Amino acid sequence: MLKILKYSFFDLMRSRWSYVYFAFYLLLGIVLLFLNNDLSKAVITLMNIIIVLVPLIGTIFGVMYYYNSKEFTELLLAQPLKRSSIFLGQYLGVSISLSMSLVLGLGIPFALYGLFNSSAIWDFSLLIITGGFLTFIFTALAFNIALSNENKIKGFGYAILVWLLLAIIYDGVFLMSLILFEDYPLDKLSLVGTMLNPIDLSRTLILLKLDISALLGYTGAVFKQFFGTSFGLIVSFSMLIIWVSLPVMRIVYKSKRKDF
């Protein structure tokens, strides 16, 4: 598996797209800092971008990579190699190279701007960690979609749909249902609703850092326990780990049974 991982990783490192992605984040970081002149404000803006853009790029890139390297995958399948290690190697190669572009692309301008001497460093590192998680989750989802769909167009369509669903539509439905059932106690429902969507989950994780004072304004014991203690942080992180492992398990499961 490590060999395939290495191969995928270096293949991607040499590809144009990784550089484009890296350059995009580099530019974004520089422009944000240049325009804002303020680290904490830049971190907030960055958060808005990361929780929307990282999943999008993760899904599209994942699907694209799978379809592009299909012939090579088939060649590998002819070798005496475990299927799970082929696909997991590819998956990890893609996710790691994407996360690296993210970390370096955003890290370099912020570090040059004096992040290490600033109080925003914790907010920033949380941002990068969630960004990394989102990359891993959405690349895994993309691989799932690609594995299940032979048709490229269909695969891309589903990938974009999944992103749209989780990034925007889910929140809309969530909001409507909260307003619809406002007469009932909703604090548990709202927390569960957040857990079921990795984008919302990462958003909450960042909210815990940035908007804790507003979150504590709501009267609710469950909310208070969740946001007021480290409980929220622990639960959110474990949910993110579950969100990574479930799709990865499905990749393994699916790849073992698929006819090529």
Binding site for other proteins (CB under 8 A): 40-41, 44, 47-48, 51-52, 167-169, 171-172, 174-175, 178-179, 182, 186-187, 189-191, 193-194, 200, 203-204, 206-207, 210-220, 223-224
Which residues are CB-neighbours of 183 under 8 A, at least 6 positions away? none
> Of 136, 140, 62, 141, which is closest to residue 102 (Cα–Cα)?
136
Q: Closest distance between other proteins and the C-beta of residue 219, in Å?
A: 4
Is the CB of 135 or the CB of 194 nearer to other proteins?
Answer: 194
Sign of CA dihedral 35, 163, 62, 93: positive
- As a whole number of angstroms, the distance between CA 58 and CA 186 comes to 32
Find the radius of gyration of the CA atoms of the chain. Answer: 20
Is the CB of 49 or the CB of 252 nearer to other proteins?
Answer: 49
Q: Closest distance between other proteins and the C-beta of residue 112, in Å?
A: 23
Is the CB of 73 or the CB of 202 nearer to other proteins?
Answer: 202
For 150-164, give one letter per residue: b (16+ CB within 10 A) or e: eeeeebbebbeebbe
- As a whole number of angstroms, the distance between CA 235 and CA 243 comes to 12
Q: Closest distance between other proteins and the C-beta of residue 218, in Å?
A: 5
Q: Closest distance between other proteins and the C-beta of residue 195, in Å?
A: 11
Is the CB of 72 or the CB of 220 nearer to other proteins?
Answer: 220
Q: Closest distance between other proteins and the C-beta of residue 211, in Å?
A: 4
Question: Residue 195 CB: number of other CB atoms within 10 A?
Answer: 18
Is the CB of 44 or the CB of 96 nearer to other proteins?
Answer: 44
For 35-74, give one letter per residue: b (16+ CB within 10 A) or e: eeeebeebbbebbeebbbbbbbbbbbbbbbbbbebeeebe
Is the CB of 11 or the CB of 211 nearer to other proteins?
Answer: 211
Q: Closest distance between other proteins and the C-beta of residue 130, in Å?
A: 13
